[in-house]
Amino acid sequence: MTGLEDLPIRDDLRGLTPYGAPQLDVPVRLNTNENSYPLPEPVVEAIGKALAAELRDLNRYPDRDAVALRADLAGYLGHGLTVEQVWAANGSNEIQQQLLQAFGGPGRSALGFVPAYSMHPLLALGTGTRWVPARRGVDFGLTADEAVAQVREHRPDVVFLCSPNNPTGTALDPTVVAAVLDAAPGMVVVDEAYAEFARPGTVSALAVLPGHPRLVVTRTMSKAFGFAGGRLGYLAADAAVVRAVQLVRLPYHLSALTQAAARAALAHRDALLGTVSAIMGERDRIVATLRARGLRVADSDANFVLFETGGDQATAWRALLDQGVLVRDVGLPGWLRVTAGTPAETDAFLAAMETLR
């Protein structure tokens, strides 16, 4: 069999393995921060109708600029945003890749505060952007001073902030975003994939967009909307940023089926987002229960929880899996991440955790 090493592959890709969590067929899958609830039947029917209406015209390319979908997304976000300030793609992963294609690339750098979303460095790698892993403070926190000092030191072309942060779950204080925006010489991307799960009082960077053309907020329908399989991510920014990513996007990158399904899902946003408060309740139950058992747990504004296992995390991961509960080992010694799903999934996870001790 031909090996990768037999191909003239790029030197910086040699020896690497593809990104991705294990997709294992176990009863309780809490490792990729999906929404555990299937779509409600009326929404399934509405999406089915919307898709059916597109089928006859699949001989034609879709709307290249996805204008109707972007208008719907702008309406969902509010904050006075218009269609010109919103852009959509196949997941926020693709959005962030397009941002790096436009603002990063060879000879340029992107900085993130690790541990954060592990795709950020991989998107940098794929786009030939030099990655700068900046540090977080005590207990994975990040203060404005810590962030600004490292941005000043490295002067990156792109800064990634992740709020709520994956894998810690904690949202950033808005003063950190403001300070980084002030200090950064280039673009500042705030990845808000989990924004809908934030605790009351959390402020979205969307509020800071006016007057800040170098700020980009990325969002996704994969989490709160339960639309991970539909692949729809988006950004909000100055209209000039949207024009910049239009220089690098593939023509017709969003299929007619994706656009139609996402619009139907957005039209039923109340039904889809109806699971958010229940998931937040399960998240808070996981945090409170593990803390009551004496484990350290990060504050969570997301649909997942980072917790200390009280021992080697790889051993704990395996022990949980042996009981049919799949969680995520993000490579932090002594810590694991679990997605908050249904009450039954929380019960199964907490029961499995009892047996670790």
Task: Examine residue 228 and tell whether it contacts ligand PMP (CB under 6 A).
Answer: yes
Residue 53: CB minimum distance to ligand PMP, A: 25
| Alpha-carbon gap, residue 272 to 39, rounded angstroms | 7
Q: What are the CA-CA distances from residue 88 to residues 70, 127, 318 (Å)?
A: 7, 19, 38
Min CB(120)–ligand PMP separation in Å: 8
Burial 160-189 (b: 16+ CB within 10 A, else e): bbbbbbbbbbbbbbbebbebbbebbebbbb
What are the residues facing 161 on neighbouring strands?
Answer: 190
- Contact between 33 and ligand PMP by CB under 6 A: the answer reads yes
Asked if 122 touches ligand PMP (CB under 6 A), the answer is no
Residue 30 interacts with ligand PMP (CB under 6 A): yes or no: no
Is position 146 an interface residue for ligand PMP (rule: CB under 6 A)? no
Q: How far is the CB of 357 from ligand PMP (least distance, A)?
A: 29
Angle, vertex CA 309, rays to CA 308 and CA 310, nearest 5: 95
- Least CB distance from residue 225 to ligand PMP, whole Å? 10
Across the strands, what pairs with 336? 307
Q: Which of 301, 334, 332, 295 is nearest to 116 (CA)?
A: 332
Tally of CB atoms within 10 A around 242: 19
Q: Which two tokens stand for residue 61?
A: 């390319």
Binding status of residue 35 toward ligand PMP by CB under 6 A:
no
For residue 182, give both structure tokens.
Answer: 């002030």
Q: What DSSP letter does each residue of 268-299 carry, written as one string?
A: THHHHHTTHHHHHHHHHHHHHHHHHTT--B--
Q: 134 in helix, strand or coil?
A: strand
328 within 8 A of 21, measured Cβ to Cβ: yes
Alpha carbons within 13 angstroms on the beta-carbon side of residue 63 total 14
Between 245 and 289, name the residue whose CB sits nearer to ligand PMP: 245
Contact call for residue 91 and ligand PMP (CB under 6 A) = yes
Choice between 105 and 169, CB closer to ligand PMP: 169
Binding letters toward ligand PMP, positions 277-296, x by CB under 6 A = --------------------
Find the helix or strand (DSSP H, E) in which 322 lies. helix 313-322
Question: Total binding residues for ligand PMP by CB under 6 A?
Answer: 13
Compose the 152-191 pattern: x for residues touching ligand PMP by CB under 6 A, - for all others. ----------x---x------------------------x
Which one of 86-94, 121-129, 144-152, 338-346 is the stretch in contact with ligand PMP (CB under 6 A)?
A: 86-94
Taking CB under 6 A as the criterion, the residue among 193, 206, 216, 237 binding ligand PMP is 193
What count of other Cβ atoms lies within 10 Å of the Cβ of residue 230? 19
Q: Which stretch binds ligand PMP (CB under 6 A): 4-12, 87-95, 202-210, 309-317?
A: 87-95
330 binds ligand PMP (CB under 6 A): no
81 or 119: whose CB is closer to ligand PMP?
119
Q: Which is nearer to ligand PMP, 86 or 289 (CB)?
A: 86
Which DSSP state fits 328?
A: B
Residue 103 or 234: the one with the smaller Cβ distance to ligand PMP is: 234
Q: Between residues 31 and 150, which has the closer beta carbon with respect to ligand PMP?
A: 31
**Nearest-approach distance from CB 60 to ligand PMP, in angstroms:** 27
What residue ranges bind ligand PMP (CB under 6 A)? 33, 91-93, 117, 162, 166, 191, 193, 220, 222, 228, 233
